[in-house]
Amino acid sequence: MSRPSSQMPQTQDYFCSTDENIRQVRPFYWMLLLVLAVLYAVSLADSPALRAPLRFIPFTVLMLAHAGLHWIGPYLTTRRRWLFPYFVLQGALVVAITWIAPSQRLLAGLYLALIAVATGVIEDVRLSAAVVTGYLALSAVNFAVLRGWNAIPDWLIFVAPMAFFMMVYVTTFIRQAQARMRAVNLLSELEIAHRQLAEYAEKVESLTLTTERQRMARELHDTLAQGLAGLILQLEALEGYLGQGDHATAVIIATQARDRARAALSDARQAIDDLRLRPALTESLPEAIWEEAQRFSSATGIPCAVTLPPNLALFAPTSEHALRCITEGLTNIARHARASNASVTITFHDGDVMIQVQDNGTGFDPGAVAEQAGHYGLLGLRERARLAGGTLEVKSALGAGTALLLCLPTSNGGSPG
């Protein structure tokens, strides 16, 4: 009979097995026991013969048993299989009590109390009506045995309105109690939801901070680290050309180094300024790629072939990822590959943009490098690929060169142009 508090029906499901529900219903049972005590005292006062030991003892025992069943009623009636035995036993006790103490007042009070309990205990309206009707019929028969069958109409005229009033009162009481219980349960659920939301907010904040740290690490690597690495390469080339006495080329390298330093400074400021994308990047991605390749070739002396589709135009984040991939790839070639040729190729395939940076250098073991600390460039590119919904593949072997392949979707706004 008991149900979760969130599923309590609108009708008589209030007398549940939970301690809270029993605590809420106790005032009703205290009032019921008070009525039984008054009926007991009035019956003894009105009938001197009832005070005789042979009638007093069984009358008292039966009244105590009847009151005890009322008191433990919320526990016994929490299971449907207990309902029928409980109400049958209570009806039998009332018949026995009124047979020992034939009082119309006692008879009416006991049956009205049973009708009130049946109204409150039985959750099914039709079953409750059937039990109440049965008690009314039993009370009429009980009264006819005591007063005669001719008195039944008078009995029904007296008891029926009282039973109706009792049913209305109990139903109102129970609905108010149910409303209080629903309010308490709702408040408890709201408190639980509030705690869960607070926990979720802490998790979101933690994840946000972690994501922001990772993004800052990527941006700092892609701006300051790459810019400084390129600047070092150009300064080393400048030193070499000066040592050879090639002042014209040294001036060109110095100019490029100055421009790269300014670009690195601009990128650093841009990263600090909410990490916004470079304004002109989406409009001049091909030019940015060509400039990056020319700086690489000038600084290293390694020719770099660039192959781009015509009218290359990508969505802003995709352009940023593409350029970062190219810059990282060329930086790694200059620092580690010992290559004699390099290439940058961008193609479109099945709605994806494929960015490939390749060299013919010494190559390496990608698995071994992935396990080493400090290789933040590849880590940043992998994070970029994951956030953009793409993939990053590094193909390399000792003595076989390296190919860095970044595949990014263009469905978020990019197009092949």
* Cβ–Cβ under 8 Å, residues 99 and 58: no
Give the burial class of 281: count Cβ atoms within 10 A of its Cβ; 0-12 exposed, 13-18 middle, 19 or more buried.
middle
Instruction: Give 21's contacts (C-beta < 8 A, 6+ positions apart).
Output: 14, 15, 74, 181
Mean pLDDT of 220-244: 75
* Cβ–Cβ under 8 Å, residues 292 and 323: yes
Per-residue pLDDT tens digits for 252-302: 888 887 777 777 776 666 566 544 444 444 457 888 889 888 888 887 888
- For residue 216, the model assigns a pLDDT of 67
Of 91, 88, 142, 110, nearest to 32 by C-alpha is 110
Per-residue pLDDT tens digits for 335-353: 788 889 999 999 988 888 8
pLDDT tier, 306 (very low <50, low <70, confident <90, very high otherwise) = very high
DSSP 82: G
Written as six digits, the tokens of 218 are: 């990527």
**Rounded mean pLDDT of the chain?**
75
- For residue 385, the model assigns a pLDDT of 80
Mean pLDDT of 322-333: 84
Percentage of the chain surpassing pLDDT 90? 6
Residue type, 141: V
d(C-alpha 346, C-alpha 307), whole Å: 6
Give the burial class of 293: count Cβ atoms within 10 A of its Cβ; 0-12 exposed, 13-18 middle, 19 or more buried.
buried
* Cβ–Cβ under 8 Å, residues 357 and 325: yes
Per-residue pLDDT tens digits for 178-206: 666 677 778 888 888 888 887 887 787 67
Of 61, 69, 151, 145, nearest to 102 by C-alpha is 145
Instruction: Give 215's contacts (C-beta < 8 A, 6+ positions apart).
Output: 275
DSSP 284: S
Supply the angle between the helices 316-332 and 226-244 in degrees, to the nearest 10.
Answer: 40
- Can you spell out the DSSP letters for 150-215? GGHHHHHHHHHHHHHHHHHHHHHHHHHHHHHHHHHHHHHHHHHHHHHHHHHHHHHHHHHHHHHHHH
* Cβ–Cβ under 8 Å, residues 404 and 356: yes
d(C-alpha 286, C-alpha 309), whole Å: 9
Terminal CA-CA length for the chain: 69
CB atoms within 10 A of CB 240: 14
Pairing of strands 352-359, 304-307: unpaired
CB atoms within 10 A of CB 192: 10
- Measuring CA to CA, how many Å separate 29 from each of 13, 73, 251, 334, 383? 16, 9, 102, 90, 68
d(C-alpha 12, C-alpha 113), whole Å: 16
Domain boundaries, the chain: 5-195, 285-417
Mean pLDDT of 244-250: 82
Between 361 and 82, the higher pLDDT residue: 361
Of 324, 319, 302, 300, nearest to 377 by C-alpha is 324
**Rg of the chain on CA atoms, in Å:** 45
pTM for this entry: 0.39
- Quickly name the fold that domain 285-417 has: Heat Shock Protein 90 (3.30.565)
- For residue 359, the model assigns a pLDDT of 93
Per-residue pLDDT tens digits for 356-372: 999 998 888 877 665 45
Pairing of strands 352-359, 402-409: antiparallel
DSSP 276: P
Please check the confidence at residue 375 and state whether its pLDDT lies above 80: no
Residue with tokens 């941006």: 219
Mean pLDDT of 302-328: 84
d(C-alpha 153, C-alpha 149), whole Å: 9
Between 25 and 380, the higher pLDDT residue: 380
